[in-house]
Amino acid sequence: MTSRVPLDVAAAAQKQKQTQVPEPQSEIPAVSLSRLTKSDFQPEEYLKETLKTVQEKNIRQFRKALEDARKVASKNLQKNVYKNYESFVFISKEISGMERDMQLLRELLLNINQVGDDLMDEDEQSILDAEEPGGRVAALGRRRTMRMSMANQQDMFKDQLTKIWRTIRDAQRFVPFAPNRHVVGDVRNISELSPSTMQTRQKVDIVVLSDMLLLAVRKKRGNYSQTILVAERSFLLSDVTVVDVSDNSRAGNMVKIVNRAETFLFGFKSTDAKNEFLLLIGHAKAGIFGAEPPTMPPSLPPPLPNTMRPGAVPVRSTRSRQSASGGDDDQESMAEGLRSRIDEMLDALDIHIARREFNDATVLVQRLKRQVGESPKPAAAVRRAIDAHIAELSRLILTDLLIPCSPRKQVAANVSLLHQLGWDKEAKEAFLASRSATIKNRTRQLKLEGNTRLYIRELAIVYFRLIRNTCEWYSELFADPTMISALIAWVRQEMAGYAVIFRRHVFHEMQKFQVIASCLNHTLAEVDILGHAGLDLKFMLDQEFFPDLTGCIRSFEGRCLALLTKAVTGDNLSVASKISTASNENAARLFGPQIPIVASVSKLDEVLTDFGNELRFIVRDSLYGQVVASVLSIIEGVLKQFLNVLRKGSNTYAQELALLVSTQAVVSWVVPRSAAHLDRIFGRTVTDIHNLEQRLEAFPSSLQDVFCQKHAVSISRSSFDFVTAEFLDEREVTDDMAPSSAMEQLLRGLGDIARELDQWPLPKRAVLGGIIDCIFVQMIDPRNWEMTGGEKRKFSHYGVHCLVLDIHFLLRVCGSLVSKSTNNMANRVCEKALRSYFASNPGAAAGGGAKEMMNKLWYDARVRTAMQRLGYSFPDFGRGFEHRSQQSFENAAQSESAPHSARDNTVSPVPSATSR
C-alpha cells in the first residue's frame, strides 16, 4: 500500500504556508510569535506598531491570521495537557502525600513541645521537693525508681506484642511496635454480621490494645478441623466510634463500630461478653485521654484523684501549685475556670453530636479551638479529646454527605462544615463518591424495553448532565485549584463507566451500524453540552469507542467473508448474468459490450455495496484505515477462494473458463465500482482501493497459469504421457512411419479447449500457448529422464525417431502458438533423446555399423502425410482453429515445403547428419 498525503491536509498546509510566509509584494503584516510569547507583551503597543500604515483589507487578513494562530495554539495546548495529564495527576498525589507528612510532622513537633513542658514541670517539682528537709534525697530516689519501673513496663509491653505476633498470623503488619503500646484485653469467638442482612459473615477475635483494635479471623488449616487466627484489619481507637446496639428481639447483644465511612456490626454470645468488650474499650480510651491514673511503683505515694471527664487536664494539688507559683491565687483560679469552661463545652459538644446538630457542633468546635489557643500551655490530653470529638463529628457529616441524590443545599452545607473542621480531602472524596452513587441509582431507574436507541439516549442524558452538574457544584464547593485534578480523574472514571454500559448494550449485541450511529450521535449531543460548560470530553469519547468501532467493522467483515465463502462453495460456476460495460472503458476493452459473470461475483458486488451502505452511518476519518483494510480483505479473500477452486476442483472446461472470466471481472469491474462507492461515502478519493486494481491486474494471469499447468498435466496423462512412455521399440524406421496416436489424441484435446475458448472473452493464444509450454516444461524436467533404479533413460533407434517425429508434428500443427522458449525446450528434448541413444549405442556415435538417422525432409514428409490422412476432422491451430477440408491440408503441406513459407520461422528440432 503506497503512502499518500490527503488532499485536505495538503491544502491546509499550503494555506498555512501562505499565511505565515507572505509574498514580498504583499503589505499584510506577519504574525510575530516571538513577541506574542514574551512575558511583558503589551497588546495595544503591538497593534499600534504593526497596523500603523495597513489598509482595512490587510487588517482583516491579519485578523484572520491571528485567529488561525490562536486555534493552532489552542490545539497544541490541549494536546500538551492530555499528554502530561498522567504526570499532573501523579504530582498532585505526591503533593497530597507531602501534605499528610507535614501534618504528621506538625503533630510530632507538638508532642515534642509537650514533652519539654512536662520535663520543665518535673524539674520545678524536684526543686520544690529539694527545699524541704530530706526532699532532695527522696526526689533522686523517686527518679531512679521511676526509670527502673518504666523500663520494666516497656519490656512487659514488648513481650505482650511478641506473643500477639506469634499467635496471630500477619499481626505484626497491622500492629507494629510502638512505645507504650500494650494489650488491654481480648474477646474471642465473635460473629461479624452483615449490616444489611444480619447474616453471619465470619468468626473473629478482637484484641483491644491501648491505642488500637485488631480483628483476627478464624480460618481452617487444610482439610483438618484445626483453626488458626489470621489478622484481617486494624483500627486506631481515636478514629473509631463504638455504639451499643439496643437489646431487642432482632438486634440482641450487638455492637456497631464506625470507622470513618465504614460500619461493622458484631454479635456476641451473651450480654456479659458484650459488656466485657465495652468495658475494655472504655479502659483503652480512658488510657488514651488520660482519665485513668498511670501505673506507679508501690513505693511512691498514690496520685491525687482526678474527678474530671475523659480528656480533662489533671489538677495539681493546692499545696504544690502554691509552692510553684508563690501563692498566686488569682492565676490558679483563672486556670481552674478555663479548664471548667472547656469541660462544659466538651459536654455540650457531646450533646450536639448525639442530637445531630452539626451546625451548632461545628460552631462549638471553633470556640473550643479558640479557647485552647488562648491557653498558654494546653495539655496534650485536651488536644486529643478535641481531636477525637472533631473526628466523630466529621464522620457523621461524611455519612450524610455520602447519601446519594441529596439536594444541592444540603450537600453545600455538609461540605462547608467539613471545610471548617479541616476535613477538605475527605469531603472531596465523599462528595465525588456520592455523585457516583447518584449516577448509578439514576441509571438503574432506566428501563430497557428492547429499544436500544431510546435507552442509550436516556443513559447519555443521565450521565453527562449529572457530570455537568457535578462540575458546576465542585467549582463552587472546592475553590482550591489543587483539587481540580481529583475532579478530572473522577470525570474520566465516569466516562469509562458510561463506555462500559454503552459497549455492553450496543457493541456486544452486534447492533446494526445505523443503530450504532444513532447511539453515538445521542452521546455526542450530550457531550457538546459539557463543552459549553468548559469541559470538552470528545477526545476521551473517541479514545474509548475507537477500538469498539474498529472491532465492529472487523466483525462485519468476518460475516461478509463467511457469506461469500458459502456463495463460492455452492456456486456451480455457470454464467448467472451479463453486465453492461458501457460505463467502464477498461472493462469494455477486455470483455466487449457485456461481461459474463458467475453468481459468486454478483454476490461479491452486492456484499461490497451493502458494506459501504452500512459504513456510511459511522464513517469518519479515524476509521479510514480499518474500512480500507476490510474492503481489501473481502476482495482478496474471494480471489483466493477462486484460486483454490481452480486448483483443487474437478470442473469442466466451461466452468473453469467462466471462473477465469469472473476473476478478470472482479479486478476490472467490481473493484472500480467499490472504489467509486467509497469515494462518495468519504467525500474524497479513496486512493488505496483505486490502486488495488493495479495491484491485482496480474492475478487473472496467475489463474490462467494455474489453468494451463493443470490441463497440461491432465492432457498429457490421458494421451501422450512422456513420463511413463517407453521408447525401446526395436522395429525398423520406414517411410510409412507416422506420428503416434497418443500425439494425435493430445492435439485433439487441445482442439477441444480451443473450441471452448471461442465462447469466452479470453486471450486464446495465451491460454493455448501456456498449455503447450507447460507440456514441454514437464518433458524437460530432469526427474523424467531417470529410471526407477537411478539409471538414465534409454532410447532405441526407432524410439528416438518416434519421439522426434511426434514433437515435430506437434510444433507444425500448433504453428503460431509455439513461442520461442517453447521451441527451445523442444530442441532440448530432442537433443537429450539423441544423446541418450548415442550414449547407449557407442557404435552408432562412432559411425561404424550405425543405423541411418533421418533428416528434416524426411520428418516434413511424414508430417504432410499425417495431415493429409487426418483431413478436415483435425484442428489446424496455425490458421485460427478452423476445420479444413482434405484439399486445404494438401495446400498447407505444399506451402510448408516452400523456402519462404510463413511457417518456416518455427525452428525444427530435428538435428542434421553433420551435427551428429
**Span 384-413, pLDDT tens digits:** 888 888 888 888 889 888 888 888 888 899
> How far is residue 514's CA from residue 205's CA, in Å, rounded to a whole number?
60
∠ CA 403-408-410, rounded to 5°: 60
Name the maximum alpha-carbon separation found in the chain.
164
Provide mean pLDDT across the span 462-488: 86
- Label residue 208 by pLDDT band (50, 70, 90): very high
Q: What is the pLDDT of residues 543-552, one digit of tens each?
A: 778 888 888 8
pLDDT at residue 860 above 60?
Answer: yes
Calculated CA dihedral for residues 421, 425, 428, 434, nearest 10 degrees: -90
Task: Give residue 204's pLDDT.
Answer: 92
- In terms of pLDDT, which residue wins out, 266 or 341? 266
Report DSSP letters for 224-260, one per residue. SS-EEEEEEEEEEGGGEEEEE----SSS-SEEEEEET
> How far is residue 809's CA from residue 748's CA, in Å, rounded to a whole number?
13
- In terms of pLDDT, which residue wins out, 268 or 587? 268
- In terms of pLDDT, which residue wins out, 37 or 275? 275
Task: Give residue 13's pLDDT.
Answer: 42
Q: What is the pLDDT of residues 48-78, one digit of tens each?
A: 888 878 888 888 888 888 888 888 888 888 8
Q: How many CB atoms lie within 10 A of CB 459?
A: 22
- Of 828-832, 854-858, 878-882, 884-888, the range with the lowest mean pLDDT is 884-888
- Label residue 256 by pLDDT band (50, 70, 90): confident
Task: Give residue 48's pLDDT.
Answer: 80
C-alpha torsion sign, points 510, 514, 517, 519 = negative
∠ CA 731-735-740, rounded to 5°: 65
Task: Give residue 847's pLDDT.
Answer: 55
Q: How far apart are the first and last CA of the chain?
A: 56
> How far is residue 70's CA from residue 328's CA, in Å, rounded to a whole number?
75
Whether the Cβ atoms of residue 200 and residue 210 lie closer than 8 Å to each other: no
pLDDT at residue 148 above 70?
Answer: no
What is the C-alpha radius of gyration for the chain, rounded to an integer number of angstroms? 51
> How far is residue 55's CA from residue 64's CA, in Å, rounded to a whole number?
14
pLDDT at residue 126 above 80?
Answer: no
If phi > 0 it is left, if psi is from -120 to 50 it is alpha, else beta; for residue 78 that is alpha
Mean pLDDT of the chain: 77
Task: Give residue 334's pLDDT.
Answer: 63
Task: Give residue 330's pLDDT.
Answer: 57
C-alpha torsion sign, points 597, 599, 600, 606 = positive
| Percent of the chain residues past pLDDT 70, beyond the cut | 78
Residue 122 corresponds to which cell in the numbers above? 518535673
Q: What are phi and psi of 500, to 5 degrees?
A: -65, -45
Residues 6 or more apart whose CB falls under 8 angstroms from that of 840 comprise: 794, 795
Provide mean pLDDT across the span 169-195: 87
SS (H, E, C) 480-505: CHHHHHHHHHHHHHHHHHHHHHHHHH
> How far is residue 897's CA from residue 903's CA, in Å, rounded to a whole number?
9
Q: What are phi and psi of 876, to 5 degrees?
A: -115, 95
- Of 35-44, 430-439, 579-588, 878-887, the range with the lowest mean pLDDT is 878-887
Task: Give residue 793's pLDDT.
Answer: 84
Q: Tell me which residue of 409, 529, 517 sits closest to 468, measured CA to CA.
A: 529
pTM, whole model, 2 decimals?
0.52
Question: What three-state secondary structure class fits 6?
Answer: coil
pLDDT at residue 295 above 50?
Answer: no
Residue 8 CB burial class (10 angstroms; 0-12, 13-18, ≥19) = exposed
Give me the helices (H) in 183-304, please: 271-289
- Label residue 215 by pLDDT band (50, 70, 90): very high
